[in-house]
Amino acid sequence: MLDRKLIRENPELVRAGAKRKGIDAPVDEFLRIDQEWRASVQQLEQKKAESNSISKSIGQLMGQGKTAEAEEAKAQTAQLKSDIKDLEPIERELEAKLHELELQFPNLPHESTPDGLTADENVEVRAWGEKPNGEFLPHQQIAEDLKIIDFAAGAKVSGSGFVVYTGLGAKLVRALVSFMLDFQTERNGYYEVYPPALVSSESLTGTGNLPKFAEDLYKTSDDLWLVPTAEVPVTNLLRDEILDGGQLPIKYAAYTPCFRREAGAAGRDTRGILRMHQFDKVELVKYVHPNESYNELELLTSDAESILQALGLHYRVLLLCAGDMGDKGCKCYDLEVWAPGEERYLEVSSCTNFEAFQSRRTNIRFRPEAGAAPEFVHILNGSGLAIPRLMVALMETYREADGGITIPEPLRRYMGVDRIEPIG
């Protein structure tokens, strides 16, 4: 959600920003309804003011025992009341329409976000490590040989898009969750939270998943939705609060399972565990001072990268172009880890600065200093990281000639073993 004043005062700026994302924002319709709404508000409030002032005088007359005059004043309010009753639904309808429109505006790309509409126009800003040399197998074969993922069982239990991790495969999932949470809390200063995996429609509207992207989500019969990412509950954690400026930045790390219908992605990345309806992820969310948010985005990105570095995996960092980053962001870096068996990079994290887009929807503000008016915080988030694709890179990178997988040093204390041995 954008600032209404910005749309009013700089409609061309808003239109141009949306256009960079390939989106046709309903600027003209917004301006028209906005004007009607404001006229309606003024009309309505004037009637209410009159009515209030008469009521007040009735109170005074009654207090003075002037009942006859009070009765007379009461009669005056009848017309006003009926006017108000007529005007109210008009105002309410215009406001609702305006709100519906404003939810359709995408966030505006930052000036440092490159132009472009497709993934081809993203810009690689840096890479870490190097592609390993040698012969590599695709992860699903490695996983099947070692019996650490049971693909058939996932399909049997739930259908396509689900797997069962077994034995040390299951333990590896758990080890990665623990390792990443410990790393982000102990080294990078995040505060750990474990939120619900079912959330309300309000929460999803706050993060911008609703109303536009309902078809990507699983909805239960109780009006609750399965979270597509921990971003949703965590971003809503401070909804409607006014924070003390001195508390910022506030940094949360959270693990949840993530559930996605992948309705628009049917047929893509169907191999192995590249794209699933359920997967595990540690998410990082920061609430920061607006002046700091671009600096904080760099820090967030490097916090996410530090996991890949600790695991010794080659990756690259892409700065997404305006059209590829989605509706909600201003600037976004993708982390892509190299999967040698797939011979391609896999997205394991998107680190995004949303500026005030989500805080305006969720009404999260801060007071810059005591006595000052509250302002919206800037909210950022990034995966730290998504587990299945990270496992793909680990399996493919660290498989050895005998078929076993060497566990990278930082994971060993969580795995309890140094290697996943081949089945012999």
Partner RNA sequence: GGAGAGAUGGCAGAGUGGUCGAUUGCGACGGUCUUGAAAACCGUUAAGGUGAAAGCCUUCAGGGGUUCGAAUCCCCUUCUCUCCUCCA
Q: Note the residues at the interface with RNA (CB under 7 A).
A: 4, 38, 41-42, 45-46, 48-49, 51-56, 58-59, 62-63, 74, 77, 81, 242, 365, 370-371, 373-374
- Least distance in Å: CB of 229 to RNA? 23
- Would you say 16 or 41 has its CB closer to RNA? 41
Q: Which is nearer to RNA, 51 or 201 (CB)?
A: 51
Q: Which is nearer to RNA, 9 or 400 (CB)?
A: 9
Give least dist CB 75 to RNA, A.
8
Write down the least CB distance from residue 162 to RNA, Å.
Answer: 21
Nearer to RNA by Cβ, of 75 and 423: the residue is 75
Query: Tokens 């519906």 sit at which residue?
Result: 100
Q: Distance (Å, rounded) from C-alpha 294 to C-alpha 306?
A: 19
CA 70 from centroid of its chain's CA atoms: 57
CB of 102 to RNA, least distance (A): 11
b/e per residue 269-286 (b: at least 16 CB within 10 A): eeebbbbbbbbbbbbbbb
- Output 227 or 319, the one with its CB closest to RNA: 227
Q: Which is nearer to RNA, 53 or 291 (CB)?
A: 53
Cβ contact 256:283 at 8 Å:
yes
Question: Do 384 and 145 form a contact (C-beta atoms < 8 A)?
Answer: no
List helix spans (H) across 150-284. 151-157, 168-186, 201-207, 231-235
CB of 80 to RNA, least distance (A): 8
In angstroms, what is the minimal distance from the CB of 405 to RNA?
Answer: 32
- Best CA proximity match to 282, nearest among 262, 264, 300, 261: 300
Sheet-wide strand order for 375-376? 242-244, 365-367, 375-376
From the number of C-beta atoms within 10 Å of its C-beta (0-12, 13-18, 19+), residue 403 rates as middle
Shortest approach of RNA to residue 68 CB, angstroms? Answer: 14
- Answer whether 106's CB lies under 8 Å from 212's CB: no
Q: Cβ closer to RNA: 374 or 408? A: 374
Transcribe 11-46 into DSSP letters: HHHHHHHHHHTT----HHHHHHHHHHHHHHHHHHHH
Question: In the Cβ-directed half-sphere of 148, how many Cα atoms lie within 13 Å?
Answer: 26
Among residues 100 and 421, whose Cβ is nearest to RNA?
100
**302 phi, psi to nearest 5 deg:** -70, -30
State the minimum distance, in angstroms, from the CB of residue 13 to RNA.
Answer: 18
